[in-house]
Amino acid sequence: NIVILDCGSQFTQLIARRVRELKVHSEILPWDVSLGEIESRRPRGVIISGGPMSVTDEDAPALPEGLFSLEVPVLGVCYGMQLVTSMMGGRVTSGKAREYGRTEISVSGESLLFEGVPSSFEVWMSHGDHIDALAPGFRLVAETSKGVPAAMENPEKGIWGLQFHPEVVHTRFGTEILSNFLFKVCSCSPDWDLGNWIDIMVEEIRQKTGDDRVICGLSGGVDSSVAAVLTARAIGDRLDCIFVNNGLLRLGEAEEVLEQYKQLSLKVHYVDASKTFLSALAGVTDPERKRKIIGETFIRVFEKEAARFEDAAWLLQGTLYPDVIESGHKGKNASVIKSHHNVGGLPEDMKLKVLEPLRDLFKDEVRSTGRLLGVPEAIVSRQPFPGPGLAVRCLGEIDETRLDTLRRADAIFREEIVSWEGYPSIWQAFAVLLPVKTVGVMGDSRTYSEVAVLRAVESHDGMTADWVRVPYDILDRTARRICNEVKGVNRVALDVTSKPPSTIEWE
Ligand code: XMP
């Protein structure tokens, strides 16, 4: 196990994923965690992440007292390296030698960390501060062309430092360097294996639930589906799944999802609550109100259904590791851009214990777990679909007619784009319906109908995104078909903004 102390870098989760890709389990803890917490993980090594602050700032992250007394190797990355330096008596300075993006470094000394990598190569830097003087006992291992220390070590004390980010893909040999740290410095064994994890988790679910019954809400998405299949493997038909159709799904989606679940032999109770949701949403145009209403209605509907399983003791949820980390760091990210209501947003006062078997996994690990469990590719590689569904893509007032128009336009776009070779790299592709009428002409008649917008984005995590350069012929076919086949739309537009400044969804 490797413990990663998070000092606030946007790359912390990436470090954890890279370590796991090398088949070593990793866990992120906040920088101000107690030494006892770290010790309880019995780590083979500790990585201190980067962070946005200066070591001299008043509230700057510091190291847990006594960290070095644990006698496990420590690797400081970027801010982590500066922090170690300043705590051990070296000097960190602001300004002057700022380096962002690609930088060439040259390796001057022998180091276990740099074994098997060339003596000069390109790395990814992102620092305003830099190290002016190494702490006593440290040796310079590599520097940038500006003469800034890029790597240092004190093997006697078990401390290593990198000014650049080995976890980002733009750093050549980043994987080799991390791998040297894990296997040569920390003597980890590459035994973090999802197949193994499944066996252990199945046993844990059995032990935890005993003879109890479990219920869960299925959304058709990857997380709840994988959580359900994993749990069903452990407890069979003591798991009851509830799939709520909120009337805001895409064309044919409810039927498709039900069919897929049938093939997985899950016990699914289907609830068509479309009317309840649509009447609650009638006349509402504000996006946040829409989300709130959908979240609350979901809770009401789910509670009512769940009450039918009165002997259920557990509620299964598809919480993932990033959700756990985020909620553990609550309050640091003050501005709410959009409130997200997922199937996860269930009432706190339900007298059920919560079962979260995926809470240690990243999304890509959940996908791999799903594949190992035989979950169909259609579910495992499904594009994210927001909890409030088409409500946030049907701008303005929502009714059955407008939803139907949007559904058909959206289905045509997805049908056309799926055959493109670039499709697998798309994060989301969908249509949006605007409550704006424009004039058109069809045959000899004037039309006055609404506008459909096509949106396709690439993204790694939904936090930032770029619009996809979909080939003109696909856009052309899509636009013609929508205007010909979908009543209520006479104009198709393309969204060419990235995130930021726009968001992926229009509401
Ligand atoms: P935005 O629009 O904020 O979206 O750039 C980022 C990612 O989150 C999804 N999204 C949601 N997911 N409930 C969800 O479960 C929501 O209310 C919601 N709003 C946006 C969006 O589809 C994208 O993948």
Predicted confidence at residue 331, as pLDDT, reads 37
Nearest to 152 by CA among 144, 143, 476, 36: 143
Q: Do domains 2-185 and 194-380 have the same CATH topology?
A: yes
Q: Name 68's Cβ contacts closer than 8 Å, sequence gap at least 6.
A: 74, 157, 158, 159
- Say if CB 95 and CB 158 are below 8 A apart: no
DSSP 334-397: ---SS----TT---TTSS-EEE-TTTT--HHHHHHHHHHTT--HHHHTPPP--TTGGGGTB-SS
324 or 424: which leads in pLDDT: 424
Determine which residue's CA is closest to atom 23 belonging to ligand 1: 462
Instruction: List alpha helices for 212-310, DSSP H.
Output: 222-235, 253-263, 274-281, 287-306
Active-site option among 7, 25, 78, 186: 78
CATH class given for the domain over 194-380: alpha beta
Cα angle 92, 96, 99 (rounded to 5 degrees) comes to 85
Confidence of residue 464 (pLDDT cuts 50, 70, 90): confident
Using CA of residue 309, residue 314, residue 319, residue 320, what is the dihedral sign?
A: negative
Q: Report the nearest-CA residue for atom 14 of ligand 1.
A: 386
* Nearest Cα to Cα of residue 55 among 81, 33, 28: 81
Distance 343 CA to ligand 1 centre (A): 13
b/e 131-150 (16+ beta carbons within 10 angstroms → b): beebbeebeebbbbeeebbb
State if residue 455 touches ligand 1 by the CB under 6 angstroms criterion: no
- What's the CATH class of domain 393-494? alpha beta
Atom of ligand 1 nearest to the CA of 340: 17
Q: How far is CA 389 from CA 247, 299, 302, in A?
A: 9, 16, 17
Phi, psi of 449 (to 5 degrees): -135, 180
Half-sphere exposure of residue 237, counting CA atoms within 13 Å on the CB side? 3
Contact 188, 182 (CB under 8 A): yes
What's the pLDDT tens digit per position in 1-13? 999 999 998 889 9
Residue nearest to atom 18 of ligand 1 (CA): 386
What tokens were used for 346? 């269930």
In this predicted structure, the answer to whether residue 74 has a pLDDT above a threshold of 90 is yes
pLDDT of 339 reads 58
Average pLDDT over residues 460-480: 93
Whole-structure pTM value? 0.82
pLDDT tens, position by position, 222-274: 999 999 999 999 999 999 999 999 999 999 999 999 999 999 989 999 999 99
Is 167 a catalytic site residue?
Answer: yes
Rounded to whole angstroms, what are the CA distances from 410 to 3, 413, 415, 479?
A: 44, 5, 8, 11
The answer to whether the CB of 246 falls within 8 A of the CB of 290 is no
> Is 303 annotated in the active site?
no
In 10 A of CB 40, how many CB atoms? 9
Q: What confidence category does residue 344 fall into, taking pLDDT thresholds of 50, 70 and 90?
A: very low
Contact 268, 218 (CB under 8 A): yes
Top-level class of domain 2-185: alpha beta
CB 470 within 8 A of CB 496: no
Tell whether ipTM is more than 0.90. yes
> Which mutation among 505, 506, 507 tests ligand 1's pocket best, with the greatest number of atoms within 8 A of CB?
505
Q: Is 186 a catalytic residue?
A: no
Q: Is 462 in the pocket of ligand 1 (CB under 6 A)?
A: yes
As a whole number of angstroms, the distance between CA 166 and CA 162 comes to 8
Query: What is the whole-number distance in angstroms between the Cα of residue 340 and the centre of ligand 1?
Result: 7
Domain residue spans of the chain: 2-185, 194-380, 393-494
Distance CA 26, CA 17 (A): 8
Q: At 96, is the pLDDT very low, low, confident or very high (cuts 50, 70, 90)?
A: low
Q: How far is the CA of 388 from the centre of ligand 1 (A)?
A: 9
Question: 503 CA to middle of ligand 1, Å?
Answer: 8
Q: Which of 25, 127, 130, 165 is catalytic?
A: 165
For residues 13 and 2, give the distance between their C-alpha atoms in angstroms, rounded to a whole number: 13
Atom index in ligand 1 nearest the CA of residue 428 equals 24
